[in-house]
A = this chain, B = another copy of it.
Amino acid sequence: MKNQKQIPASAYQSGTGFINHYQNLIKDVVIPYQYEVLCDNVEGVEKSHVIANFVNAGKALRGEDIGDGFYGMVFQDSDAAKWLEAVAFSLTVYADKKLEAKADALIDIIAAAQDSDGYLNTYFTIKDRDKRWKNLMEGHELYCSGHMMEAAVAYFDATGKDVLLNVMLRNAEHIYTHFITEKNEGYPGHPEVELALLKMYRTTKNQHCLDLAKHFLDVRGVNPHFYEEEAKLRDWTVWGNDPYDHDYMQAGKPVREQTDATGHSVRAVYLYTAMADLASEIEDVELQTACRKLWESITQRRMYVTGGIGSTVLGEAFTVDYDLPNDTAYAETCASIGLMFFASRMLELDTNGEYADIMERAFYNTVLAGMQLDGKRFFYVNPLEILPGISGIAATHKHDLPERPGWYACACCPPNVARTISSFGTYAYGENDTTAFCHLFAEGTIHFENGLELLCETNYPYAFTITYTVKKGSKALALRIPNWSTQHSILVNNKTTDYEIRKGYAYLPCVQAGDKIVLSLDTSVHHIYTSTKVAENTGCVALQRGPLVYCFEGVDNDNDILSLSLTENGQITINPYAEDLLCGTTTLTVSGWKMQQTEALYSIDKRPEEVPYTLTAIPYYTWGNRGLSQMRIWMTDK
């Protein structure tokens, strides 16, 4: 039932533009840096210990002294998995024998940490083997398995090496035995294994992987009391999560009956990704309908303009409709990555530009903001407003850090960013037998399995002309026209051409080797307004150019952004692209007003004087790269 499917990571080779810059950064800085962190070789950042955990788990299995035992979160294993997956994707773009050797060595360590029955988890293997599978709510065993399965599939696709894939097939079989053969009740506290099992199934055709994925989705929420019952059978917890908060665990109803995005936001979108993927795999219309409702719940009522989701720190969770505070936002980097997953699977079900629009919004804003421009520091939380003196300090704002730390005790986001960027082609391009789909605008070469080979040239997201040269083959070509592009043109070999616009895509019936297709999108700056149902943004406007949402930082604006407002429909100048600024960016000069500061907290009948002021805006993804500074996206518009 897939309308079209994602291309594999290996089918896309980035060119010399923006995506290539980021993929190089992942290869040159992020992957090596994160490896050193995983090995605990970086001073001044949170300890990882993840590789040591695998080593020690192997020792535990062999009855040897376990050394310094386990350290870290219950899901620490997944950091190694995400790193391996990023490495795998990167290897498809850049051959690197030394890196591959490092990965192989790590895989051997992981393989040695697998129990004889196929179980693989360092926390329980080192700490207490008897606690295996007794705390699905908090234990993250299935979550860690899922990430390692994703890594195994990616590594096999990239290198043809099946050591990890076989480890994870044995692990999947162990899980199948426990949950299906032996009929143990339960479903993952943190969904992830479902989407991973579907990847395993597509790569290996192992039917048990598909059955297991379907099983976990089918049973979820059918007995919403499962976690309570599970909790009553043990005398220990990991974090003291509340087993009665069914919606928090996306377990209040069977998944096909769920309509509102609830609970922990990363868990939610990982679950919905698997639901959408399964819906297309087994042609389950009911599941697809549920996915659409959940998609609408997120994107029409519970999403920031940056593509950030999960607005509260309390449980890292979705809250209720239209509750989107800017300064206390959570908007976890991983959640926006998960939103990209969900969007890409929805797009496979229904080629509707709406899905790609959101995928692009999440990527170019929240996901990229999650990483310092130098690739060495990361945000877990992505607020839309930063107030030095309050952000990161006040009790309600402790999580909204004004500057990126080097690593986190809970380090899910940094390697997640790495694997997402290094597999960018899978989100950008799709295909079916008849058509090649360009969802996002990513320069480079794309080898579609349907035989088409395309060269894409563009300086997107800072230029809005995209040139596609057909290198080989002959197929229909579908080009997404973003929802922010109020005008566009398409030339084929310098001539206008007939094409049909359907659901946000321009369909060119047939392009062939030698054709040059030039898509020109809207280059203007757009004004974004929020529904008046969002209290936080009444009377405010945000600026966006292409996919980039802009923000205002104190450093460019006299360190006084709270005194500034924009002139309604005022002059906006798009400055020339500056190579040297923030790794290359285009700033905006915007006309507005500056209100005079008053000493008094409250002034009676003395409206502070306002004078014309010229503001400077930068893309949101570049914020926080020049030291401590105020930051704001939504500005008063008058």
Contacts and interface: CB of A to CB of B under 8 A. Distances in A.
Identical copies in the complex: 2
A483 interface: yes
Given A533-B562, A539-B638, A636-B538, A395 B315 contact: yes
A532 B604 contact: no
A602 interface: yes
A544 interface: yes
A530 B636 CA distance: 15
Contacts of A315: 395
A20 interface: no
B531 A600 contact: yes
A529 B603 contact: yes
Q: Ordered nearest first, which 3 A-B pairs have the shortest CB separation?
A: A539-B636, A314-B395, A532-B563
Interface stretch (A56-64, A119-127, A139-147, A317-325): A317-325
Contacts of A328: 325, 328, 396
Given A396-B319, A638-B539, A602 B530 contact: yes
A45 interface: no
Contact of A638 (B317, B396, B638): B638
A312 B327 CA distance: 14
A601 B535 contact: no
How many A residues are at the interface, by size bracket?
35 or more
B535 A327 contact: yes
A598 interface: yes
A390 B320 contact: yes
A152 B394 CA distance: 39
Interface of A: 299-301, 303, 305, 312, 314-315, 317, 319-323, 325, 327-328, 385, 387, 389-390, 393-397, 483-484, 486, 526-535, 538-539, 541, 544, 560, 562-563, 565, 568-569, 595, 597-608, 632, 636-638
Given A301-B601, A532-B562, A527 B396 contact: no
Contacts of A527: 604-605, 607
B544 A604 contact: yes
A300 B601 contact: yes
Contacts of A299: 601
Given A312-B396, A319-B396, A531-B598, 10 more contacts: A320-B390, A320-B394, A328-B396, A390-B535, A396-B396, A483-B604, A526-B604, A532-B560, A534-B562, A539-B539
